[in-house]
Structure 1
Amino acid sequence: MAAKSGNGKRDASLGVSNTGTTYTASVGVGSPPTQYKLIVDTGSSNTWVGVNGVYVQTSTSHATSDKVSVTYGSGSFSGQEYTDDVTLGSLTIKSQSIGVASSSSGFDGADGILGIGPVDLTKGTLSPDDSATIPTVVDNLYSQGSIQSSVLGVQFKPVGILEGEGKLDFGAVDTEAIDGDVMYVPITTTSPANEFWGIDQSITYGDSTSILSSTAGIVDTGSTLVLIATDAFERYQQATGAVTDNVTGLLRITLGQYENLKDLNFNIGGATFPLTPNAQIFPRSLNAEIGGSTDAIYLMVGDLGSSSGDGLDFINGYAFLERYYSVYDTDNKRVGLARTGHTDSKSN
């Protein structure tokens, strides 16, 4: 379904930066605030610190009676749950519940996570209060009257544009950041994708090659690649002629194959969102960040590791989200997408 893009500019925004495999934001905690570099993650909902930067307690820091523990697809953390002031750009949240890690793995280069997924993902992460949920930063910004609606807009920009910077828009869509209207779709009813910012989509390569039949998956700012079910991945690899690179684990193509690469089309809610050939390749200026060769061409489509039909058959990571403005609307339980000036960029 299509809808107009909203009521104008956002209430406030927070800049984010591409660190190679993730986008991070500088988030203040405490009063006066200490800044922490947190991974921007719509695929989880706990906000926490303490990996590299030590948690600095101030007069607004209060330990709760709960321990906290979260396991991710590629890491985990555990520690103590606190409440504290959290500053996001010009906005400050009072008594935001945050985790402070005493142990963690898989988060090199960041201090923790800014979790902006649906609140129910926090259920079961606290102990002994394992039935409780933890309001996210968006939930609390709205409940404390700092933003006009519980909406988050995300714009990531390809690395060749402003060095891969972007922003989070709290409270409203930034209509100046998009081309045309936002197309909204409801959260999928398929489990387990419906626990996340989950949508239904199909994927085709070029004009007619089916890669993935209509199925459920998630939109995830915390993932680097577009990950698709193993059977779909094999069809994509065959269509592109790519081979697996032994060093990076990514698909690799030759210059000639790149010149013949076709659009990868994401069919969502009756609309088509193509990834152009350039959008399908890893930014060549960042090849060294993943241990790759500077002159190699790697694809940003990967194997999810399970066959289609499991209820979560794709993850649209930042490879997709760098080309489309995305909207996460809590009240209306929907996800929105819109073209930007970077949709067809050849910056990679």
Structure 2
Amino acid sequence: MLAYPILLLLAVVGTGGTSTKSSPHASRNADSGVLGLSIDAEINLSRLSNVVAADIARAAHFKSHGQGKKRESRHRGKRQSVAISATNSAVSFTSRVKFGDPATEYTLLIDSGSSNTFVGLKKEYSATNSSHATGKTVSVTYGSGKFSGPEYTDRVDLGNNLVITTQRIAGVNHSSGFDGSFDGILGIGPTDLTQGTVSGSSEEIPTILDNLFAQKTIGAKVIGMSLPPFPSNTPGSITFGGADSSKYKGELAYTNLTKTDPAKDYWGIDQSIRYGDSTILKLTSGIVDSGSTMILLAPDAFNAYKQATGATLDDKTKLLKLPKDQYSKLQPLKFTIGGVDYTLNADAQLFPCSLNKALGGDNDSIYLVVNNLGENSVDGLSFINGYSFMERFYTVYDAANSKIGLATTEYTDSEGNCKA
């Protein structure tokens, strides 16, 4: 069994199989109006053997959302469901959340690629004194999973004084395709993604972030995420209300959210990428997504990276593979975002060699975290900067100003994935 004592204020969780856990604790940032969650930490290892398929499936549903909007525009522009995958990622995140008065605690998967909040998959949602049925039904499709159920307003307690007195949520009457120990999903994506998910209405539903701000619990509609590289003994965190200045170095650099479909519906940006001195991805749009494990590139860019590194596609893992003695030849991978370069050194382009067995690989090779976004690429979504990118850079989702902020951390240039 592989085990690493990781403590995250946002849980790294899998969906069954080998995992590690640590005790939760609450934290409050010293910055005014910035609060963090109290959570458990888990990381699934057996899920890593399907990491490529999981990420590509998630990407396919991001892309299909944009295609679906074009089809629906011919039918009054109304969306009945949002096609996004939140349930099959190799690396995902959970938190324990309390609903109602008296409160019942549930475990929710935190998803940056969706925005509805619902509960009742494993543990049934229990209406209490604070629960009020709206008479409407919520239906959402998450790629491999979907649910429908009655809408309520209720009290939601995220922990550490993050309490929402009235939040629109959904219970679960019918569901399929959810594989995991979580009870529901806490959506932290843009509010637009909730449009058309409530029966008989095309309105948007205020998200958890919207209501924390509206009820003056936090000072801004901003989420900050710090995800130290795996394995690590140092805590990571998610904060609501602003950036945690203790988690990054220097200044945050902000870039506007992209205006290109379908990336603009998510936490999307414009960027270009160079490997060494060669441009492998021209300026284009994509997504910064904590629910994806890898860094996914459109086919042309992926093939350019593959050729430049000399890596081969491994039949067993579906990952790019290099002999360990080729590690020293890896060049920096530079992401240019808003005119600022964010560089992944050679080490940051690797899965930890300690995970080779979990990946289904061999001990004499190293495996790369860059992979193919899918053969059927979609204009407007040419990359996904997943967990493997975010673990090296502090990331801020700024809904108020339609921006994403990035900064270096103590882990940006760290080297510990492999002793090649």
Fold equivalence (TM over 0.5): yes
Whole-Å Cα distance in 2 between the matches of residues 232 and 10 of structure 1? Answer: 41
1:183-332 aligned within 5 A: 183-206=253-276, 208-293=277-362, 296-306=365-375, 310-332=379-401
Aligned position for 2:233:
162
Q: Is the aligned partner of 1:60 residue 2:167?
A: no
Whole-angstrom distance in 2 between the partners of 1:292 and 1:157: 24
Q: Which runs of 5+ in 1 are unaligned?
A: 1-6
> Could you list the per-position Cα deviations for residues 184-221 of structure 1 after superposition, in whole angstroms to 9, with x for gaps in the alignment?
01111212211111110001111x12211000111111
- Pairing 1:19–2:43 present: yes
Asked if 2 retains the 8 angstrom alpha-carbon contact of 1:202 and 1:215, the reply is yes
Residue 19 of structure 1 aligns to which amino acid in structure 2? I
CA contact (8 A) 2:256 2:404 kept: yes
Residues 155 and 167, structure 2, Cα contact 8 Å, conserved in 1? yes
Q: Which moved more, 1:180-189 or 1:87-96?
A: 87-96
Residues 95 and 215 of structure 1, relative CA distance in 2, 3 Å threshold:
same
Give the C-alpha shift of residue 323 in structure 1: 0.8
Q: 1:95 to 1:269 in 2, by over 3 A?
A: same
Instruction: Please say which of residues 187-196 and 265-274 is displaced more in the overlay.
Output: 187-196
| Residue segments in structure 2 that go unaligned for 5+ positions in a row | 1-29, 45-89
Contact 1:307–1:313 under 8 Å retained in 2:
no
Distance 1:260 1:78, change over 3 A: farther
From 92, 97, 113, the counterpart of 1:28: 97
Please say if residues 95 and 109 of structure 2, whose CA atoms lie closer than 8 Å, have aligned partners that are also in contact.
no
CA RMSD of aligned residues (A): 2.4
Paired position in structure 2 for 1:122: 194
**Count of paired positions:** 339
Counterpart check, 1:110 vs 2:182: yes
Between 1:212-221 and 1:241-250, the stretch displaced more is: 241-250
Counterpart of 2:50 in structure 1 is none
Per-residue CA deviation, residues 305-335 of structure 1 (Å, 9 max, x unaligned), is: 1566601111111111111111111111111
Summarize the Cα distance change of 1:231–1:33 in structure 2 as closer, same or farther, 3 Å threshold: farther
SS in 1 for 2:236: strand
Letter in structure 2 aligned against 1:123: Q
In 2: Cα distance, 1:285 partner to 1:10 partner: 39
Q: Any idea what SS the aligned residue of 1:234 has? A: helix
Given that residues 33 and 217 in structure 2 are in contact (C-alpha distance below 8 angstroms), is that contact kept between their aligned partners in structure 1? no
Q: CA 1:209/1:33 → structure 2, altered by over 3 Å: closer, same or farther?
A: farther
| 8 A Cα contact 2:145 2:175, kept in partner | no
Equivalent residue, structure 1, for 2:158: 88
After TM superposition, give the deviation of residue 108 of structure 1 in Å: 2.5
- Report the residue type matching 2:184 in the other structure: G
- SS of the residue corresponding to residue 401 of structure 2 reads coil
Distance across 1 between alignment mates of 2:153 and 2:119: 12
Classify 1:306/1:126 alpha carbon distance in 2 versus 1 (closer, same or farther; 3 Å): farther
- Greater strand share, 1 or 2? 1
SS at match of 1:233: helix
Choose from 133, 142, 153 the match for 1:72.
142
Q: Is the 8 A contact 2:95 2:107 kept in 1?
A: yes
CA distance in 2, matches of 1:272, 1:251: 24
Query: In structure 2, do the counterparts of structure 1 residues 298 and 34 end up closer, same or farther at CA, with 3 Å as the change threshold?
Result: farther
Alpha-carbon distance in 1 for matches of 2:149, 2:355: 33
The match for 1:50 among 120, 125, 136 is 120
CA distance in 2, matches of 1:334, 1:170: 15
| Distance of 1:295 and 1:37 partners within structure 2 | 39
Letter in 1 for 2:169: I
State the one-letter code of the partner of 1:137: I
- Cα deviation digits, residues 216-264 of structure 1 (max 9, x gap): 1111111111111111111111122222233332222221232322221
Q: Which of the residues 102, 108, 129 maps onto 1:38? A: 108
TM-score under structure 1 length normalisation: 0.89
The structural deviation recorded for 1:49 is: 2.6
Measured after TM superposition, the shift of residue 135 of structure 1 is 1.0
SS across alignment from 2:157: strand
**Using the alignment, how far apart are the partners of 1:25 and 1:241 within structure 2?**
37
Is the 8 Å Cα contact of residues 18 and 159 (structure 1) preserved in structure 2?
A: no
TM-score, length of structure 2 as denominator length: 0.74
Structure 1 residues 67-76 or 269-278, which shifts more?
67-76
Is the 1:39–1:222 Cα contact (8 Å) retained in structure 2? no
1:109-159 deviation per Cα after TM superposition (whole angstroms, max 9, x unaligned): 433322111101110112232x02111111000001100111111111112
Amino acid at match of 1:241: G
CA distance, structure 2, for counterparts of residue 70 and residue 289 of structure 1: 32
Percent identity among equivalent residues?
Answer: 48
